[in-house]
Amino acid sequence: MGKQVRITETVLRDANQSLMATRLPYADFEDILETMDKAGYYSVECWGGATFDSCLRYLGEDPWERLRNIRKHMPNTKLQMLLRGQNLLGYKHYHDDVVEKFVELAIKNGIDIIRIFDALNDFRNIETALKAVKTYSKKYNRHVIASGCISYTQSPVHTVEKYVEMCKKLVAMGFETVCLKDMAGTMSPFEAEHLIKGIKAALPDVPVILHTHCTTGMAYMTITKAIESGVDVIDCATSCFSNGTSQPATESMYYALSQYGIDCGLNEKVINQVNDYFKPIKQKYIDKGTLSPKSMGTDAQALVYKVPGGMLSNMIANLTDMGAMDKFDAALAEIPAVRKDLGYPPLVTPLSQMVGNQAVTNVLVGERYKNISNEVKNYFRGEYGIAPAPVSQELQDKILGAGNKPTDCRIEDSKRTGADFAKAKEELGDLARSEEDVMSYICYPKQAKEFLEKRKAKEENIVTYTIEAI
Ligand code: CO
């Protein structure tokens, strides 16, 4: 085993995103930030992913203000965010000017590490964000780490060699660290061992990070093997927000590793204080029903069907709505076929929904691809990026017309009209007080506009009140 393994704490982002749909308000964790700042984490993942959407949509918070507040209370810890490449924190491809501005603002407001991924591992979709990290890191005179992240999946084409090639490519592009993102928690100890050994042999000096979930019950074994094989950083969550669909427990990992003489750089007393703080908060959300016991258990079904837990529950909900739960087994059996036809995309948002819905449609209609969803059509047009493996020629011909090929340029290049940021700014008028407001609006137009209108109304009320008081 190596001598040092660092730990990223995920309670402020992925742990509460996975267990309670990112409904943790800032007010619930403000008081522990200064303690967390003394823990000695490699980083605290606190922004990006679904936090942005949740702040605007459900919590009535300005996500930028949240970030600035965390920064203020945690001056000594690296703050980390997750970014979906050209999708930023949304579900569509944004123009380069928007991606560049987003990265600039994230850095300006306090982010130190940006973990960037593309659902299809089409690295053309993460290049603009990477370049922006370099540019604005220099402009704001801060060392911001761009971490190149791979969406992990299993398929006949996803071999160790292929993943090693991907990592080499990320490093050649200019990423400082590489991260394997096992969003469904299906990476086995065996796979982790071979992957990490392969990556470390090819790139001995590049820090390798493993992000996994406990969903299927393998994470502790998988991480142990990854550590034996030389992984440098692992993602964990404070124990009361660990396990289930979340990450393994920070304190347990610390305890197990210290007996091997592995230094995590953590302060034992502080990490226990952090957990003590979050215990009653967890209980509050269990009582409210926000945190469901279902997400705290182990679900090994994903290993049988190779389908992430979230995708399974989605399919069950859809089939139940349609009164067609008797077709569940058939739909499940259809998924591998659809995935093969699409060239084995990783089953992560938005591809998991796309594959799941098409499989359900195929089964309900009783004929393969008689009805093809718009998402699948756009996928074959190349709008999501390049598929990991060749797609079904027959299906491609059916969608594009025989002899036609998908676009080989980035969607951003083919649809570029430019100046999306300027346009959005104009649309918002005096509702926007900052570039951050404009960016919130670009990412989530409806939710951000409502939020900004409410803010304005509140301010006007305060002004009226002040005048009356005088
Ligand atoms: Co995750």
Q: Is 418's pLDDT higher than 70? A: no
Q: Is 469's pLDDT higher than 70? A: no
Query: How remote is the CA of residue 118 from the centroid of ligand 1, in Å?
Result: 14
Query: How remote is the CA of residue 237 from the centroid of ligand 1, in Å?
Result: 11
**Is pLDDT larger for residue 405 or for residue 173?**
173
CATH class for domain 6-293?
Answer: alpha beta
Query: How remote is the CA of residue 14 from the centroid of ligand 1, in Å?
Result: 6
301-400 and 6-293 share a CATH fold: no
Which residues, including other chains, have CB under 8 Å from residue 202's CB and lie 6 or more apart? 164, 167, 168
Report the pLDDT value the prediction gives residue 392, as an integer from 0 to 100. 96
40: left (phi over 0), alpha (psi -120 to 50) or beta: left
358: left (phi over 0), alpha (psi -120 to 50) or beta: alpha
Query: How remote is the CA of residue 184 from the centroid of ligand 1, in Å?
Result: 8
> How is residue 249 annotated by DSSP?
B
Neighbours of 216 (CB within 10 A): 24
Query: How remote is the CA of residue 65 from the centroid of ligand 1, in Å?
Result: 24
Angle at 214 between CA 209 and CA 220, to 5 degrees: 65
> How is residue 367 annotated by DSSP?
S
**Is pLDDT larger for residue 349 or for residue 338?**
338
Q: How high does pLDDT run on average in the chain? A: 93
Helix (H, G, I), strand (E, B) or coil at 209: strand
Q: Where are the alpha helices (DSSP H) in 342-410?
A: 351-365, 374-380, 393-400
- For residue range 187-204, what is the model confidence (pLDDT) as tens digits? 999 999 999 999 999 999
How many alpha carbons fall within 13 Å on the CB side of residue 13?
Answer: 27
Q: Decide if 242 contacts 214 (C-beta within 8 A).
A: yes
Burial category of 311 from C-beta neighbours within 10 Å (exposed 0-12, middle 13-18, buried 19 and up): buried
**How is residue 256 written in tokens?**
């197990």
* Cα–Cα distance for residue pair 128/334, rounded to 1 Å: 36
Confidence of residue 282 (pLDDT cuts 50, 70, 90): very high
Report the pLDDT value the prediction gives residue 2, as an integer from 0 to 100. 55
- For residue range 76-111, what is the model confidence (pLDDT) as tens digits? 999 999 999 998 987 778 889 999 999 999 999 999
For 48, list phi and psi in degrees, rounded to 5: 80, -165
Q: Decide if 212 contacts 219 (C-beta within 8 A).
A: yes
Angle, helices 420-428 vs 435-443, to 10°: value is 100
Map out the domains of the chain as residue ranges.
6-293, 301-400, 419-469
Query: How remote is the CA of residue 235 from the centroid of ligand 1, in Å?
Result: 9
Query: How remote is the CA of residue 183 from the centroid of ligand 1, in Å?
Result: 5
- For residue range 440-458, what is the model confidence (pLDDT) as tens digits? 999 999 999 999 999 999 8
**How is residue 140 written in tokens?**
């704001």
- Tell me which CATH code domain 301-400 carries: 1.10.472.90
Query: How remote is the CA of residue 464 from the centroid of ligand 1, in Å?
Result: 46
Query: How remote is the CA of residue 181 from the centroid of ligand 1, in Å?
Result: 7
The pTM assigned to this predicted structure is 0.93
- For residue range 106-162, what is the model confidence (pLDDT) as tens digits? 999 999 999 999 999 999 999 999 999 999 999 999 999 999 999 999 999 999 999
Q: What is the mean pLDDT of residues 255-267?
A: 96
Report the pLDDT value the prediction gives residue 294, as an integer from 0 to 100. 80
Q: Is 309's pLDDT higher than 80? A: no
